[in-house]
Structure 1
Amino acid sequence: MIVVTGAAGFIASALVTRLNAANFNEIVVVDNFTNERKLLNLSGKHLQQYVDREEFFPWLDEHHADVEFIFHLGARTDTTETNRDLLNILNLEYSKQMWQACCQYQLPMVYASSAATYGSGTLGYSDDDALLPLLRPLNPYGDSKNDFDNWAVQQPEKPFFWAGLKFFNVYGPNEYHKGRMASVILHAFRQITETGSMTLFRSHNPDYADGEQQRDFVYVKDVVDVCMFLMQTRRHSGIYNLGTGEARTFLDLTLSTFAALDRPADIHFRDTPEDIRDTYQYFTQADMSKLRGIGYERPFTRLEDGINDYVRQYLVPGAYY
């Protein structure tokens, strides 16, 4: 059996789809399963069992001999969350318990970290372990992810294989439930289909023109391909960036969304909300040399191609991945 936590969420449900495509059908999905809209992400999947996240560790104590691999992707992912106690419970302590269980039962694991750990990016975007204690995230969510990364690399006892993945700006099908935290592509699609135009955040940094803010946007199908690679190789434990290695502008993204919809571009700007303005990142770009260095050779999807696939194959028909 393969365990996937946070399984009804965006990236994890895409991973379940990819596992099924590779004929892995004995999948144990772990989540709180209270969000009915998220549950649509698992509709039609070949699954072994649903386990509530509060019941998972007793379940694992009983069934660990049958578990082959754990993907721990469950987390509180709202970057505007200010409840540090909640983030500490869900993102730090639960992950510590997962790590310790994998050590106890000799289970390999991949877990979700985040590019939010890099903060303003003043130290760059290298996934070198030596930089981990120097990173200063810009929000409590990033702190929770960075705290676990630092804790993990310092542990004298580790799973025989483990990998933490610093997800950059992931987009793609099955993020319909994410609200404000959904990718800009989904917001653009909705605005364009409803109004014929798209409004982006204005730049409040003199080094960047409006719409020229840059992110490393990575298609969720590429993300799950990397997860599969790590499960299949099980070598070279460590923390890895997971982006494309190429920063693109929000104008690039928006123009590609208009093109995928066969509509003329009509773009406007508004001030960045004050609650995120001071912590807004103007540039992110993953250094992908570490993952490439362990043998991952597949190319990452060009932004234009990923948006075209996402919009035409999923957003327009309202399909799930």
Structure 2
Amino acid sequence: MYIVTGGAGFIGANLVQALNQRGITDILVVDHLTRADKFLNLTDLEIADYLEAERFLNLLENDQMKGVEAVFHEGACSDTMATDGRYVMENNYQFSKTLLHWCQRHNVPFLYASSASVYGMTGTFVEERQAESPLNVYGFSKFQFDQYLRRMWPALRAPVHGFRYFNVYGPREFHKNRMASVALHFYRQYRLDKHVHLFAGTDGYADGEQRRDFIHIDDVVAVNLHFLDHPRSGIYNVGTGQAQSFNEVAVAVINGLERHAKRPAQDLSTLQKAQIIRYIHMPEALNGKYQSFTQANIHKLRYAGYDSPFLTVEEGVERYIHWLMERPN
């Protein structure tokens, strides 16, 4: 049996799909369905069982889980604006520790979601302590678990892989609301209003030219499965290694929709002049907490043996638009 925590969520459900594509259906999904519409991520997938996280934790603590091949731990409070620190630390940090220790006792591979948010505003995106300075309690919860794991390295019995995801986008993120990718936000805005909103210039960047390392969910899943097949314990950045601008994402979304409607593509300057791409001031709540630039250093990932190419924004958004347009939304 394979366990996927957060299995009804964005990354978790895509991992379940990938396991299904390998012919694996003996999968236990663990999640919270307080957001009931997340169940939609599972309706086309095959799983053996579902458990709420509290019930699952009770079974772990009473040593009642048997025959587990691997644990993909994607479950977490992922709201970077969360203010209930006790809840975030209990859900993200303590739960992760319990799972880690259980996997070590039972010699089960453990693959878990860390986050690029651990880097904060340092501007250095390499898996080293001096580059890490989270700006919110979500980032702190991920950072603190990475630190806890580092202290355990010499005593590890089973493989452990931590993945510092950068800006992930792609299918099965409808339920994430404001925490969904900008690709989905731009898609919805353009279909509704025929224009999209980006942040005006900040931190020395021109309007919409803030840059992030945007990675398609298919690449995230491929990294997870690579290390399931070829274990090499470590904490790894999972990004493309190439930052692209929010303007580039907006252009890719708009042109993807235009191509679908069999209309010609347009360049950035044309979209700006036509007020199809518009710029707004950044909300006060994000001042001093917004990463205007991220770019994964993927040297460690490549050195560990993952050598597949990553989708560019243009390639990945095109794939995502195709998926979105095939579904009612």
TM-score normalised by L of structure 2: 0.92
Residue 22, structure 1, aligned to residue 22, structure 2: yes
CA distance in 1, matches of 2:19, 2:285: 39
Q: Report the CA distance between 1:154 and its aligned residue.
A: 0.5
CA distance in 1, matches of 2:57, 2:230: 26
Residue 12, structure 1, aligned to residue 22, structure 2: no
In structure 2, runs of 5+ residues without a counterpart are none
CA distance in 2, matches of 1:319, 1:28: 28
Q: Report the CA distance between 1:164 and its aligned residue.
A: 0.4
The aligned counterpart of 2:161 is 163
CA distance in 2, matches of 1:62, 1:102: 11
Of 169, 178, 181, the match for 1:180: 178
Residues 182-230 of structure 1: per-residue CA shift (max 9 Å, x gap): 000100001000110111011232x211111000000001100111111
CA distance in 2, matches of 1:243, 1:13: 19
Of 273, 284, 303, the match for 2:283: 273
Is the Cα–Cα contact under 8 Å of residues 202 and 210 in structure 2 kept in the other structure?
no
The aligned counterpart of 2:51 is 51
Give the match's secondary structure for 1:261.
helix
Is the Cα–Cα contact under 8 Å of residues 121 and 284 in structure 1 kept in the other structure?
no
Within-5 A mapping of 1:32-51 = 32-51=32-51
CA distance in 1, matches of 2:302, 2:182: 27
Is the Cα–Cα contact under 8 Å of residues 202 and 292 in structure 2 kept in the other structure?
no
Give the match's secondary structure for 2:66.
helix
CA distance in 2, matches of 1:32, 1:217: 27
The aligned counterpart of 2:146 is 149
Is the Cα–Cα contact under 8 Å of residues 215 and 284 in structure 1 kept in the other structure?
yes
CA distance in 2, matches of 1:296, 1:70: 20
CA distance in 2, matches of 1:159, 1:134: 28
Percent identity, aligned pairs only, is 39
Say what the alpha-carbon RMSD is for the aligned residues.
1.5
The aligned counterpart of 2:305 is 295
CA distance in 1, matches of 2:223, 2:182: 23
CA distance in 2, matches of 1:133, 1:125: 10
Of 249, 254, 257, the match for 1:253: 249
CA distance in 2, matches of 1:132, 1:94: 23
Report the AA paired with residue 23 of structure 1: G
The aligned counterpart of 1:307 is 317
TM-score normalised by L of structure 1: 0.94
Is the Cα–Cα contact under 8 Å of residues 113 and 165 in structure 1 kept in the other structure?
yes
Report the AA paired with residue 168 of structure 2: V
Residue 237, structure 1, aligned to residue 233, structure 2: yes
CA distance in 2, matches of 1:97, 1:258: 44
CA distance in 1, matches of 2:315, 2:78: 26
Residues 95-135 of structure 1: per-residue CA shift (max 9 Å, x gap): 1111111111111100100000000033x1012xxx22662
- Change in 2 beyond 3 A, CA 1:287/1:6: same
Q: Report the CA distance between 1:138 and its aligned residue.
A: 1.1
Report the AA paired with residue 236 of structure 2: Y
CA distance in 2, matches of 1:138, 1:287: 20
Report the AA paired with residue 136 of structure 1: S
Report the AA paired with residue 295 of structure 1: G
In structure 1, runs of 5+ residues without a counterpart are none
Give the aligned length: 313
The aligned counterpart of 1:85 is 86
The aligned counterpart of 2:201 is 203
The aligned counterpart of 1:216 is 213
Residues 48-76 of structure 1: per-residue CA shift (max 9 Å, x gap): 11111101134345554310000011000
CA distance in 2, matches of 1:3, 1:185: 29
Of 122, 136, 139, the match for 1:139: 136
Q: Report the CA distance between 1:294 and its aligned residue.
A: 1.4
Residues 12-69 of structure 1: per-residue CA shift (max 9 Å, x gap): 0011001100111101100122322111001121111111110113434555431000
- Change in 2 beyond 3 A, CA 1:250/1:104: same
Give the match's secondary structure for 1:110.
strand
